Amino acid sequence: MHELSIATLVLEAVNAEAGLRPRMRVSKIGLRLGDLSGVDADALTFCLEALVRETELASAALEIERRPQRNKCSRCREEFVVVNYQSACPACGETSTEFISGDEMELAFVEMEDS
């Protein structure tokens, strides 16, 4: 389960950010996960909740934004969401399209408030 190591790294980054603002507490953690990231959002949530239990981060809310696979047409330059692995351009039918996003796994934000 690589989600546990990812959760650990996320919390290290959150704690580093929180350490820069000692008079504030973390109220929300935002993650961005692409559908092709290989990360199971439910498993990651479980791991994060287990790791923060009985810590000062236990009350922080977790927000996970799912990002679909997006491609770009090589002919008409249309950007589109890939649905059911159909990567042909929906605008012009071109089958040569370029992957542009959907494999993200990033800490999007750490929301903090006065403690």
- Flag whether 90 is in a domain: no
**Per-residue pLDDT reduced to its tens digit, 92-115:** 999 999 999 999 999 999 999 998
Write out pLDDT tens, residues 1-32: 599 999 999 999 999 999 999 999 999 999 99
Sheet containing strand 97-101, strands side by side: 79-81, 70-73, 97-101
How many domains does the structure of the chain reveal? 1
CA separation for the pair 107, 101 (Å, rounded): 16
In a domain, 36, yes or no: yes
Q: Is residue 53 part of a domain?
A: yes
Is 23 a member of any domain?
yes
Host domain of residue 18: 3-68+101-114
Instruction: Decide if 21 is inside a domain.
Output: yes
- Cα(33)–Cα(40) distance, integer angstroms: 9
Structure tokens at 31: 């993650």
The one-letter code for the residue type at 65 is: E
pTM attached to this predicted model: 0.87
CATH for 19? 3.30.2320.50
Q: Which phi-psi region, left, alpha or beta, contains residue 90 (left: φ > 0; alpha: ψ -120 to 50)?
A: alpha
